[in-house]
């Protein structure tokens, strides 16, 4: 993932294209899991359930 650099450009948090892609995928997955938890989605016995509103 890229972060803001001091001079206004973009700088990767890690070096190497594969590591940058892995970092971006991992951060996106973490955001997705956090969003599912916020929505109350859970996984029980092979099925996904949503908490009632």
Contact 51, 38 (CB under 8 A): no
Q: What is the mean pLDDT of residues 32-39?
A: 92
DSSP characters for the chain?
A: -EEE-TTSSEEESSSSHHHHHHHHHHHHHHHHHHHHHHHTEEEETTEEEE---
Delimit the domains of the chain by residue range: 2-43
The stretch 28-45 carries a mean pLDDT of 92
pLDDT tier, 47 (very low <50, low <70, confident <90, very high otherwise): very high
Distances (CA, A) of 14 to 2, 3, 17, 24, 51: 9, 10, 9, 10, 38
Determine the Cα–Cα distance for residues 53 and 4; give it in Å rounded to an integer. 38
7-24 pLDDT, tens digit each = 445 667 778 888 878 888
């Amino acid at each position: 993932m890229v972060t803001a650099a001091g001079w206004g450009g973009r700088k990767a948090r890690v070096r190497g294209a594969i590591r940058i892609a892995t970092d971006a995928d991992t951060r996106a997955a973490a955001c997705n899991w956090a969003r599912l938890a916020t929505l109350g989605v859970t996984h029980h016995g092979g099925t996904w359930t949503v908490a009632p509103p």
